[in-house]
Amino acid sequence: MNTEPESDAETSRPRHLALKSLLAIGVLALGALGFAYWYMVRCDGPWRGVPLEARGTAELGAIEARLKSDIAFLQSLGPRHIGNETACVQLQRCADWIEREWQAQGYHVQRHEFTVSNIACANLAIEIPGTAAGSEVVVISAQYDTLPDSPGANNNGSGVAALLRLSELLKGQRLDRTVRLIQFVNEEDPFFGTEQMGSYVYAKACHERGDDIHAMLSLDSIGIYKHTPGSQKLPWPFSLFYPDRGNFLAFIGNLSSRQCVKVATLGFRKWSSFPIAAGLAPEWVGGVTWSDHSSFWEFGYSGVQVTDTGAFRSASHTTKDDTMEKIDFGALARITLGLCGATIELASKRNEPGRQNLPGQWLLFNSAIVMLAGLLVGLPLWRAIARNESGPACRAWRVAHATLIAQGLWMLAVAVAIPRLALSNSAIWIVVWSLVAAGYGFAFAMTVGAWSGRRGLSPKPWGVNTLLFAGHAVGVIGSIVAAGLILCGALRAI
């Protein structure tokens, strides 16, 4: 008897199984990349109306003139920090000047003082009380210290000046939420990233008081714009998705600040047509934490850096050459107008920038992939039914189809229910990752098992059976862990 064809079939089966497994992994990877692009890059708020700037009602000329005057004064002070006596005196002169400017606008200025190395430092703040939800707070900030040896015209005289003009524009506005405008101290080295940063001291105090901060914008270096190709230098892979001309303002958030970015950019576009770009990144990515917003992230608040991207665009960003002739004051005036729109939008009660369901969104995305896998698994089942076929293979496809659809629906239901569960943030993420692991474990084990004709209920014989058994085990354990935590969270919520 000739057994060669049978031998060929046995040889080709593992190869086909490997190719199908790689195809399934590739589909999942493409889906994950698509979600990451949508979530992290396409995170700005669209606006198709006519911005206030285009209606000609905004006094951009007057705003530009005041910005020039303010930054000229700040530059004349020279370096402003507590590293030496001369710079410390200039830092105090700067703080006194900011206080006088706000008082002249009719605001009561709060000095939040603390000491560093026996030197008195102060964050300066004014508050515009909210009318409908006064306990909910939006923070807009800049830092008024500089690096050693830098006059700090753009870094961060541009932010300080824009914040002073922003307070003028907000005068008389009725805002739902309370808005706090704050000039922070000690943002620059050697204090950056330490508990001596003015923003860290302030955010920690807010957290200890239980302040309900819904959103925070940090205005840091917002005045330099270039239109030549190659003038914008962003690290890979961000360079793939953003312009290579440095002619845009950037809104940068961490992964949990997406709604804050979306609302802020929407409000900006309602008031200004200046080009903007938005992006999210994990906090370990270089450059993402380089301002006062990172202090608020430390305490779980949503925060966004608003910037011209600093050293990724300007060679003078941290040097003695950071002078005002490099600033585009026409652009800065338009940006200040847009920031007023962003602040008003963030302060509107119809927007909830601080309350978003990132774990639920991630679980929802993965539930869609699992259900899609269940639908695709149904294709061989429907073909077998159409041919009136039966047997173990048909039953395997039927079980895989029903189980994956049910698992996807279970993940979908939990994604919707997450905001109602009385669980800590870490426990919620354990639920999410347990269900994601369970979904993909079942998807792998049942799909590959139906293809290969193996059930995988035992790890032996070693090989494919072992992988299928591991997939089932991950699915079962993940489901049990998630179900236990969900039950606890539901009982505590009741």
Same domain, 363 and 269: no
The answer to whether position 160 is within a domain reads yes
Burial (CB < 10 A; 0-12, 13-18, 19+), residue 376, is middle
pLDDT of 262-290, one tens digit each? 999 999 999 999 999 999 998 888 889 99
| For residue 193, pLDDT beyond 80 | yes
Band (pLDDT 50/70/90 cuts) for residue 395 is: confident
What's the pLDDT at 16?
Answer: 55
Average confidence score pLDDT of the chain: 89
Residues 66 and 163 grouped into a single domain? yes
Q: Is 330 contained in some domain? A: yes
Give 136's Cβ-side CA count (13 Å radius). 19
Choice between 101 and 26, residue whose per-residue pLDDT is larger? 101
Percent of the chain with pLDDT over 90: 64
Instruction: Looking at the structure, tell me whether residues 330 and 377 fall in a common domain.
Output: no
Average pLDDT score over residue span 251-269: 94
Claim to verify: residue 261 and residue 402 sit in the same structural domain: no
67 belongs to a structural domain: yes
Which phi and psi angles does 142 have, rounded to 5°?
A: -145, 165
Q: How many degrees, rounded to 5, is the angle at CA 207 between CA 204 and CA 209?
A: 110
* CA atoms lying within 13 Å on the CB side of residue 154: 29
Task: For residue 260, tell me if it sits in a domain.
Answer: yes
420 φ/ψ angles, rounded to the nearest 5 degrees: -95, -5
363 and 327 fall within a common domain: no
Q: Is the confidence at residue 353, as pLDDT, over 70?
A: no
Is the pLDDT at 493 greater than 50, yes or no? yes
Domain boundary, last residue among 280, 312, 346: 346
Is the pLDDT assigned to residue 317 strictly greater than 60? yes
Question: Last residue of a domain, which of 346, 378, 406?
Answer: 346
- Tens of pLDDT, residues 136-154: 999 999 999 999 999 999 9
* Structural domain includes residue 36: no
- Residue 328 counted as domain residue: yes
Per-residue pLDDT of 195-240, as tens digits, reads 999 999 999 999 999 999 999 999 999 999 999 999 999 988 899 9
Flag whether 142 is in a domain: yes
**Counted domains in the chain:** 2
- Residue 8: which pLDDT band, with cuts at 50, 70 and 90? low
Yes or no: say if 257 and 302 are a contact pair by the CB < 8 Å rule.
Answer: yes
125 and 83 both lie in a single domain: yes
Question: Do the Cβ atoms of 338 and 166 come closer than 8 Å?
Answer: no
Q: Average pLDDT, stretch 293-312?
A: 95
**Domain termination site, one of 317, 346, 375:** 346
Residue 1 has a pLDDT of 46
- The answer to whether 335 touches 249, Cβ cutoff 8 Å, is yes
Higher pLDDT, 49 or 224: 224
Separation of first and last alpha carbons in the chain:
71
> Can you give the pLDDT at residue 77?
97
Q: Which domain holds residue 436?
A: 357-493
Write out the two tokens for 147. 């690096």
Higher pLDDT, 42 or 385: 42
Residues 303 and 401 in one domain: no
Query: If pLDDT is split at 50, 70 and 90, which confidence band does 26 have?
Result: low
pLDDT band at 6 (very low <50, low <70, confident <90, very high): very low
- Which pLDDT value is given to residue 4? 47
Same domain? 435 vs 322? no
* pLDDT attached to residue 54: 86
Spatial contact of 137 and 213, defined as CB atoms under 8 Å apart:
yes
Average pLDDT estimate for 401-414: 90
Amino acid at site 479: S
Residue 254 within a domain: yes
- HEC per residue, the chain: CCCHHHHHHHHHHHHHHHHHHHHHHHHHHHHHHHHHHHHHCCCCCCCCCCCHHHHCCCCHHHHHHHHHHHHHHHHHHCCCCCCCHHHHHHHHHHHHHHHHHHHHCCCCCEEEEEEECCEEEEEEEEEECCCCEEEEEEEEEEECCCCCCCCCHHHHHHHHHHHHHHHHHHCCCCCCEEEEEEEECCCCCCCCCCCCCHHHHHHHHHHHHCCEEEEEEEECCCCCCCCCCCCCCCCCCHHHCCCCCCCCEEEEECHHHHHHHHHHHHHHHHHCCCCEEEEECCCCCCCCCCCCHHHHHCCCCCCEEEECCHHHCCCCCCCCCCCHHHCCHHHHHHHHHHHHHHHHHHCCCCCCCCCCCHHHHHHHHHHHHHHHHHHHHHHHHHHHHHCCCCCHHHHHHHHHHHHHHHHHHHHHHHHHHHHHCCCCHHHHHHHHHHHHHHHHHHHHHHHHHHHHCCCCCCCCCCCHHHHHHHHHHHHHHHHHHHHHHHHHHHHHHC
| Among 87-96, 304-313, 334-343, 378-387, the least confident range | 378-387
| Token pair of 77 as six digits | 């002070």
Lowest-confidence segment of 73-77, 190-194, 279-283, 398-402 by average pLDDT: 398-402
